[in-house]
Amino acid sequence: MVYSKVAMPHQPKSNGVERTLLHHGARGNTRKLTDDPIQIATMRAELHRRGIAQMRINNRSLQDMYIFGDPLQVPIIIVERLTNIYDSTCVSSDSIPLKEEARHKRENGYRATNKCGSIRRQNEHVLRIVVFVHGFQGNHLDLRLVRNQWLLIDPKIQFLMSEANEDKTSGDFREMGSRLAHEVITFVKKKMDKVSRNAILTDIKLSFVGHSIGNLIIRAALAESIMEPYLMYLHTYVSISGPHLGYMYSSNSLFNSGLWLLKKLKGTQCIHQLTFTDDPDLENTFIYNLSKEKTLANFQNVILFSSPQDGYVPYHSARIEPSSAAFMDSSKRGKIFHDMLNNLLGQIQSDSDHRVVIRCDVNFNTSCYGRNLNTLIGRAAHIEFLESDIFAKFIMWSFPELFR
């Protein structure tokens, strides 16, 4: 794991993200938007991997260098803590603060008091729920490895492996979001009733984990009006390779050709929405309008997983960051992209020292993949997030306070 601190761009007064925006690295280095971020991330991880290979271990000390397997085979994870540009009191990137235990409640909250008005602390219970949402043509057990690590950190969580959209991921994101919202509400109410029979329900911490388009399904669900009463309880959001900005400016020509075939031969509605062809007017497209919804604003912790080796989801889309291609595009398409980016960055910005926003760039060791179609089109790394839990072990056990 490599730690760095990155300045989060403030919302500019003009439309879009400022064209002079720079990304700040761990040592104060900067890179311009015209640089290739995928190449830079790959090179940075490779240099770190070479450094591991050249390390000399002191034989006189007892060290288990293989607790996570061969050090040369495990992923290189670059953790970037996003901080506000004008925040002079921010903590260091390797010291993420704990979230406040006491949360302010609305008048209709669940905290109970006795006749004297003092808080009853006996039999108090905080209901912690984690919802796992699979991706395109996925299975409800796809994220089981992440779930297992979360259970080891907090065995008392209640988890929902969403099945509402299993075998139904080719339709409209709005419909998938609605199905997920009803599934989540039914589950939460069931758990609330069970806790209330045996204890005093004082708080709810509702977390979400999504893979691939499951992240758009989550955000579509949170935009549903029936979810509004539960937004105040949102806790941690883990996005694993989520196309938050759609497939605009995707550079994978082979994968783009596959998307084109899906649209032409099968008329897959969600693919039209991902590629902004669901409406002739870009301002009426689903993903553009979803970016206006405050779907990320209420989470206490936001973790964005990405990989430069993942050809299925554009790198900038998974990281919610500027694109060099969009930077050079002066057309309406470029303006739409910058508006979406601006909307999402505005949601994850916060003046609170207790809110955590991090990007986790995962560089898998692809030497064991071989040369095949999955590697060529970038599917191997996209699926590796589901088949290898070692990246989750690194992150979740390094920052366990985010998952409690």
pLDDT over 70 (residue 57): no
Rounded to whole angstroms, the Cα distance separating 273 from 319 reads 19
In the numeric block, the tokens 């809110």 are attached to 355
Mean pLDDT lowest among 213-217, 301-305, 393-397: 393-397
pLDDT digits (tens, 9 = 90+) for 313-328: 999 999 999 988 888 8
Name the most confidently modeled range: 45-54, 154-163, 341-350. Answer: 154-163
Of the ranges 49-53, 139-143, 348-352, which one carries the lowest mean pLDDT score?
Answer: 348-352
pTM: 0.81
Q: Domain 2-12+24-54+63-86+123-403 class?
A: alpha beta
The predicted structure's pLDDT at residue 123: 84
Q: Is the pLDDT of residue 52 over 50?
A: yes
339 or 16, higher pLDDT? 339
Other Cβ atoms less than 10 A from the Cβ of 401: the count is: 13
- Are 329 and 17 contacting, i.e. CB atoms less than 8 angstroms apart? no
What is the per-residue pLDDT for 106?
40
The pLDDT tens digits for 86-101 are: 443 333 333 333 334 3
Q: Is residue 315 a contact partner of residue 37, using CB atoms and an 8 Å limit?
A: yes
What single-letter amino acid sits at 377?
Answer: I
pLDDT value at 264 more than 60: yes
Q: Which has the higher per-residue pLDDT, 370 or 206?
A: 206
CB 304, CB 218: distance < 8 Å: no
pLDDT-derived band at 26 (thresholds 50, 70, 90) equals very low
Q: Which of 40-54, 125-139, 237-251, 390-404 has the lowest mean pLDDT?
A: 40-54
Confidence of residue 404 (pLDDT cuts 50, 70, 90): confident
Q: Can you tell me the distance from the alpha carbon of 157 to that of 160, in angstroms, rounded to the nearest whole number?
A: 10
Q: Identify the weakest region by mean pLDDT among 134-138, 213-217, 249-253.
A: 249-253
Among residues 331, 229, 206, the alpha carbon closest in space to that of 276 is found at: 331
**Full 3-state SS string of the chain:** CEEEEEEECCCCCCCCCCCCCCEECCCCCEECCCCCHHHHHHHHHHHHHHHHHCCCCCCCCCCCCCECECCCCCCEEEEEEEEECCCCCCCCCCCCCCCCCCCCCCCCCCCCECCCCCECCCCEEEEEEEEEECCCCCCCCCCHHHHHHHHHHCCCCEEEECCCCCCCCCCCHHHHHHHHHHHHHHHHHHHHHHHHHHCEEEEEEEEEEEECCHHHHHHHHHCCHHHHHHHHHEEEEEEECCCCCCCCCCCCHHHHHHHHHHHHHHCCHHHHHHCCCCCCCHHHCHHHHHCCCCCCCCCCEEEEEECCCCCCCCHHHHHCCCCHHHHHCCCHHHHHHHHHHHHHHHHHCCCCCCCEEEEEEEECCHHHCCCCHHHHHCHHHHHHHHHCCHHHHHHHHHCHHHHC
Q: 176 or 118: which carries more pLDDT confidence?
A: 176
Average pLDDT of the chain?
A: 80
